[in-house]
Structure 1
Amino acid sequence: MTLPTRSYAKFVTPYKITPCLVDPDEGITETSDIWTLGPVKEWYSAGVYWNIMPTHYFHRKDGIRCHYVIPQYNVHGNYFVGNETTGPFPTSSEDCADESYPSQHFLYHGSICFYSLYGEVKGTYCPKYGAAYVLVGGLGTFYIKGLH
């Protein structure tokens, strides 16, 4: 009985979102030139490419933060792509070695009352393919009541 109780408690405990993935209070929502300035077209995780459709973005001094949907799964989320190059993620294509940027994503899907299933992923973005190569770093729930 202890294990199921602990698992349930962990599942319903809201997950803390990395600050760079949250909409900035002072930010201006932008949609112009979305396919250029919201650069990630897909992300690669668990051996599968996931199509991403950007909806709006925010400029940041250290990169860009973009809201996206994955329509075939009713998934929403935000991603951040930094503007400083870094080493490629282990699952990236070899020809992304010279041009990779740090990338973080969070996603949420469905809802149970005020909770949504939540995931946070990290990796790198390769502009050559418009793909972010990522690994899931956290799963849980996301408390959505009271968000603006």
Structure 2
Amino acid sequence: MPTSLCGTWDMISNVNFEGYMRALGISACLRKIALKLKLRKVIEQQGDQYLVKTLSTFKNYTISFKIDQEFGEFTKGLDNRHIKSTVTWQGSKLTCEQTGEKKSRGWAHWVEDDKLHLELYCEGEVCKQVFKRNE
């Protein structure tokens, strides 16, 4: 059984976020704002349903999904695209493959050394974020 990702997590590092956003086609103005934000992740599990909230002072984004079940996702406030997403466990990593206009798009969450790690990837760009648990 993978380590629980559930809890509230505050960002402590954010590497290559601008490159990732550029790959998504996000405007320079929005990238400039987003680079200044300190994100908070709230991950909840209720039965076989997961809820992942990404919170900031500028915009919030929430997704809800079941493992191994494809779902439609509208990335409102991010790159505003309609995509298909499928989340699976790969070992101890919760991974998401996203299909749509952009190639090789998705993310992976996992816990290592009491920190939540997130890799976001799109068209060869990889953003690495690390979060600490909010006590």
Normalised by the length of structure 2, the TM-score is: 0.31
Q: Which has the higher helix share?
A: 1
Bigger relative contact order (CA 8 A; separation at least 6): 2
The structure in which a higher percent of residues are strand is 2
Bigger radius of gyration:
1
Q: TM-score, normalised by structure 1?
A: 0.29
